[in-house]
Amino acid sequence: MESAQTRSPSDPIPADDLVLPFQADRAGVSGRLVRLGPAVDEILRGHNYPESVCKLLGEAVALTALLGASLKFDGKFTFQTKTDGLVNLLVVDYRSSGTLRGYAGFDAEAVAALEEKGDISPGDLLGQGHLAMTIDRGPDMDNYQGVVALEGGNLNEAADTYFRQSEQLPTFIRVAVARHYSANAAGSGTDRGPWSWRAGGLMVQHLTREGGHGVPEKVSDDDGWNRARILAETVQDQELVDPLLAPDRLIYRLFHEEHVRAFETRSLTFQCGCSPDRVKSMLNSFSAGELEEMAEDGRIRVTCEFCNAQYDFDSADFARASSKPN
Ligand SMILES: [Zn+2]
């Protein structure tokens, strides 16, 4: 796998907002564990969405972190669903610097009515459509996009289908999201409240080496893969999100018989990256007529979907800009 260095057992692992790459030598598999605490809590609370929408977006954030962490160059990984369900849009992106952000589009009245009725699983909200995963390597490089149909299943199933259908190697992938109630939060003096969102995910793949023509070749036989997959399938949702279960303890618990080793962790944070300049250049791509329609009392106001930041421009700035000859 990557040139990551093996951790010495004495290095403390921070317990949250990280990707922990690992390798199980006996089975010949590599994998990643993702743990999200404050980063996913900030993303989900920032939006004030209903609980069921938060869970679904939290799953998308965990999947994005698992998949995006495979980027080996500067770039951006985007996970986006477009469906006909009550949640018709999920957008999450991951930058190779380790930043995550995301938002959802949904029918607020219909979701509230469904939540009123009782327990709903996040997959119920998706409906039919597709999931697109895009790797953006910068302006001078080709983008890569993989698309998979969403046909009434949940996001874990969609990710499974993606790996089965693409020419990728056999892959196990699972994510979980939960509210975590902190026993001592009431007296902690913070305004975070007595609970916070947590998410986690596990991904395991055949370990590969570079074969002829740059095609990855499996290092191990299928027996090793099957043993690792069966062990991975025993992981409980609770284990993926438990803040008291250290990430390296969890992979040891799952794969110790297969001689598992943990590598250096990479940290994850919530960060939007929007700025007045970026919003301005986005607005400059609209025609003068479109900008006129957006303007109200001589101002153009834009709210960032990812972080709710408000931008307010004088529409005269754009009138001048768009009347300039190119
Ligand atoms: Zn923003």
Query: Measured in angstroms, how far is the CA atom of residue 300 from the centroid of ligand 1?
Result: 16
What is the C-alpha separation between 277 and 307, in angstroms, rounded? 16
Ligand 1: distance of its center to the CA of 155 in Å? 25
Distance 270 CA to ligand 1 centre (A): 11
φ, ψ for residue 42 (rounded to 5)? -65, -40
CA distance 89 to 209: 37
Ligand 1 centroid from CA 102, angstroms: 10
Token pair for 294: 């957006």
For residue 100, give the nearest of 311, 263, 307 by alpha carbon: 307
What gap in Å lies between CA 119 and CA 315, rounded to an integer? 47
* Ligand 1 centroid to residue 306 C-alpha, Å: 5
* Residue closest to 29 by CA, chosen among 208, 161, 165, 167: 208
DSSP of 114-180: HHHH----GGGGT-EEEEEEEEE--TTS--EEEEEEEES--HHHHHHHHHHHSSPPPEEEEEEEEEE
pTM for the full predicted model:
0.87
* Span from the CA of 210 to the centroid of ligand 1 (angstroms): 39
CA of 311 to the centre of ligand 1 (A): 10
> What spacing in Å lies between the alpha carbon of 93 and ligand 1's midpoint?
12
Nearby residues of 280 by Cβ (< 8 Å), 6 or more positions away: 313, 317
Task: List Cβ neighbours of 160 (8 Å cut-off, separation of 6 or more).
Answer: 171, 173
One-letter amino acid of 54: C
Any idea how long the chain is?
A: 326
Full pLDDT tens readout for the chain, 326 residues: 344 456 555 555 567 999 999 999 999 999 999 999 999 999 999 998 999 999 999 999 999 999 999 888 889 999 999 999 999 999 999 999 999 999 999 999 999 999 998 878 777 899 999 999 999 987 778 888 889 999 888 999 999 888 888 766 789 999 999 999 876 544 444 555 589 999 999 999 988 766 656 666 666 678 999 999 999 999 999 999 999 999 999 999 999 999 999 999 999 999 999 999 999 998 988 988 899 898 999 999 999 999 999 999 998 887 655 444 44
97 C-alpha to ligand 1 centroid (Å)? 17
How far apart are the CA of 277 and the centre of ligand 1, in A? Answer: 12
